[in-house]
Structure 1
């Protein structure tokens, strides 16, 4: 009986630690909203829409389901960041770094990726309709084969994208 209670207490503690590790950190979100760097931060569901965050370092940050719509993040470092299911609608990422970033199921409709580095970025299910990616670096056909776009999506010469359904 005592052993069973110990196991239950240990499992409850692990569940609590896991839950707090995945919850957003409001202090970190506020810092980034003010323009501060925050590499590796937990910005889950953060509202960064309409912000000017030029050059911000969010490398390795958790931005899952974050709202970056209509933000300006030129020269930002988003390498290895988790941007899965994030809203990047109409955002500007001129010369931003997305190397190794996870953009699974991200909405990047109308986003600008001029000279952005997308080397190794995961684009599974990403919506790139109307996105400007013509001068993006490191973008491959294999990445685009897992995403969708439309006729107004601008890609580097020789690359194509399937229409969204």
Structure 2
């Protein structure tokens, strides 16, 4: 009986899972600053935003497809599993962000900073990163692309499987 009580107490102490915050998502969709917001699964696809501040925000599984977002501040953000198909994300700050399993297929990422970003499983097929900053060979070993992926001089990326 005691193990059952312990398990129940631990489940209560853990609290509910962090779900998205609809009010914060609506604010973010207007381009308002939303650092450290919970934007889990936010639909930002097709939006045009200028310099939104999403520093440290939780954007896991968010949709950035076909968005035009210039100068986004995403340092330290949780961007795991995002879909940024065909997005224009110029001048973005992705430094120290977690981009695990993110999809940037066909995205335009010039002048964006990736210093310290985690790129494990990130798909850059057809993406233009030719003017990106802070990318290293060590980061790109964990990512993938294709023959049309454009990278800064001297960097290479493995083909996606």
TM range (shorter): over 0.9
Q: Measured at CA, do residues 8 and 130 of structure 1 come closer, stay the same or move farther in structure 2, by a change above 3 Å?
A: closer
The equivalent of 1:46 in structure 2 is: 42
Please point out which of 122, 129, 132 is paired with 1:136: 132
Structure 1 residue 72 displacement after superposition: 1.2
**How many Å separate the matches in 2 of 1:28 and 1:10?**
31
Structure 1 residue 154 displacement after superposition: 0.4
Instruction: Give the unaligned 5+ runs of structure 1.
Output: none
**How many Å separate the matches in 1 of 2:28 and 2:19?**
16
Matches of residues 27-38 of structure 1 in structure 2 within 5 Å? Answer: 27-38=23-34
The DSSP-based 3-state class of the residue aligned with 1:53 is strand
Q: Give me the TM-score of the superposition, normalised by structure 2.
A: 0.93
Q: Does 1:101 align with 2:97?
A: yes
Deviations 1:54-107 (A, max 9, x none): 100001000101101111111110110111000011111111100001110001
Structure 1 residue 13 displacement after superposition: 2.8
Structure 1 residue 12 displacement after superposition: 4.0
The DSSP-based 3-state class of the residue aligned with 1:28 is helix
**How many Å separate the matches in 2 of 1:8 and 1:138?**
45
Larger strand percent: 2
Aligned Cα root-mean-square deviation (Å): 1.6
Q: What is the number of residues matched between the two proteins? A: 160
